Structure 1
């Protein structure tokens, strides 16, 4: 079980296909995609080598394409518009579904929310972090499959209201995200960039390799034992000796906006990582850190001492997605580190 946790991002999946363009066509498309918005004359050339040319042409001839900087930006902005529409539908339908256990429609609404944030991240960071943009797009694409899995988990006798409508929108969204991913890969190759993640930077303390974007403060947190050089923002203890008796309550408190009742008036918000010390004990709860609860780190007292013991299961009526004992859902660079 994990005793040290920093908020996570989902792992990247396959970066799509469509690199087999005929000689000359691929180079023309890549050069165009790196410069200006596509015209009707070259949309066909750009889209010919993507996995789904018709979806690509739909995106690049849309209203979003008119104000975009390049075909990739146009495709992402179009996907974001479709994600917003699908999210609204899923939210409206999930509002009428039972809250406990969460329905497959509830999963889809949350996954579409996360996907929208990931698409924004991909668009905002593509120039500075090509590999990161690939990760966000791949993650957003994976979310659509997870949404479908959750919808399919409902029994045939009790299909969620509007399931087919959401499935249709999610399937369309997957096509457009796949198109954006293909155009991103083409743009990276056309610009002569490798797309390889930033090289790991060694820690000055122990020589441990960490990603170059991980701040020195966070590296020290991950390398230090819980009792050394670590002042927690909250302490969870079953015997009442901490600030909270529930892990979820502590997470809510340290991520609440500054000055609210939940934060206790402390500086809970902001970009600094919030550390929660979970003392030894068996915590019978399912812990969820949403994509909006950034920069959270859980530190236990050691393997076999701090135990999180949830009891959600598919047999109990939960979907696979919502049955996790400890789940983190996020879009920004927040790696998951586990130390037993």
Structure 2
């Protein structure tokens, strides 16, 4: 067993950096998923023949996230009729979803020219410019345009909290916490149940106080009103992990039930199970993480880069998983324990196990 653990130790690298947790779903905590969403628009269906089919298929494919097929149908519609704002709006949305923000802006500007009173068009124009600033924060013109269109959207629909909220995100990205706080509070005034704004205010408090626990009261308040809020559950599980791992595990258990395919949750839960010395459950979670990873001993190649350094630990994981079952229970437990400790960088304890 010592030789087996020595092999694992030599193969392993520490890939469990805290800043990587939830990266698949959480992304940038200061960038809202609302930027990538869109609202459908109301309009009268008064077309016939192919035009009706192309527009209908384009919108339906977009709803099904079949963006390229949606774009193809909308292109065909616009070739037949370049005067209908709805087609340009949805084509702009398609291009935004594909990350083609400049082209998206061109189409949305055309839609805006044809229908300046649309809240949805103003919001999408704001979002594509906002998204450009997330790629390069030096794009000052795009930031100004995003702000301009958010304010137009507010003028069109003054009771809607979303433009104020996204203005807060824009201000926060530009380093203006005071303005961001003002915008988030304005969105809460319009909708007291707008949990995203409450969480962002809590994050600002963390930045100001340099104390991660300052976020907990805000998360508790959100979860008291919405016990299934994934963002709040995920953040609270991280904030409380060190001081209260059992409470953190309770939040993670709920998250895994809500999103069983989210590997980041299982990865972090495996780490916490290891911390409380529950190696059987920890190994089960790590096993699922390994199974979900496209790398394996079958496609492992020797030439590595910094981007694929995690292959070593995945390779080791496949070796453990493929050999541990069928062993005597006591030996299997020791190997599972050693592997879990190894994954959490407790190298000496792993060897001693």
Which TM class, normalised by the smaller chain length?
Answer: under 0.3
Q: Please report the TM-score for the alignment, with normalisation by the length of structure 1.
A: 0.27
Q: Which structure has greater strand proportion? A: 1
Q: Report which of the two structures shows the higher radius of gyration computed on alpha carbons.
A: 2
